Amino acid sequence: RWEADAWLLDARLIADDGEIGDMFGVSVDIKGDRIIVGSWFDNDAGSNSGSAYIFDRTEGTGWEQAAKIVMPDAQAEDVFGRTVALGDEFCAIGAPLDDDQGQSSGSVVVFDRDSTGGWSFVAKLAHPGGGGGDQLGLSLTIDGDRILAGAPWSNDGRGEVHLWERFAAWT
């Protein structure tokens, strides 16, 4: 936090179940009083399947872990959490080595914050016509109700960027 004329350490965030080699912090994003942190080598669903953590600022106690998110169809080596992005009451998490459209085709997984304060899976975004090696989700950002994700090895290695916009659902 900024105090007087200097930056001071406000918090040190640590995963409740973190293990050596999880790579917690490989990606981060902040929006208001919420932080998302990627942990792409977490092993909950197999070696390097990955996860992401949500931290919320709480009155009086600073920051606390509010959720751990794992990809619903997680597999070993998906590296879910390699990229993360926060929107208003939703988040997007990249899994650039997900194999749904071929080895390392990649995907972006979207979760909404539900009425109980939890995080619910709402969509898995894939490269239309994508294929092995595209690595969709290797870069990721959110602006309003838009998700922008890079697929750097798509288009014969020339790369592509994909934009999804939420209307009633992610399209």
Q: Ramachandran region of residue 153, left (φ > 0), alpha (ψ -120 to 50) or beta? A: alpha
pLDDT of residue 171: 57
The mean predicted confidence, pLDDT, of the chain is 94
Looking up tokens 């050596």 gives 20
- Strand partners of residue 29: 36
Q: Which of 27 and 60 is assigned the larger pLDDT?
A: 27
Query: Which pTM was predicted?
Result: 0.93
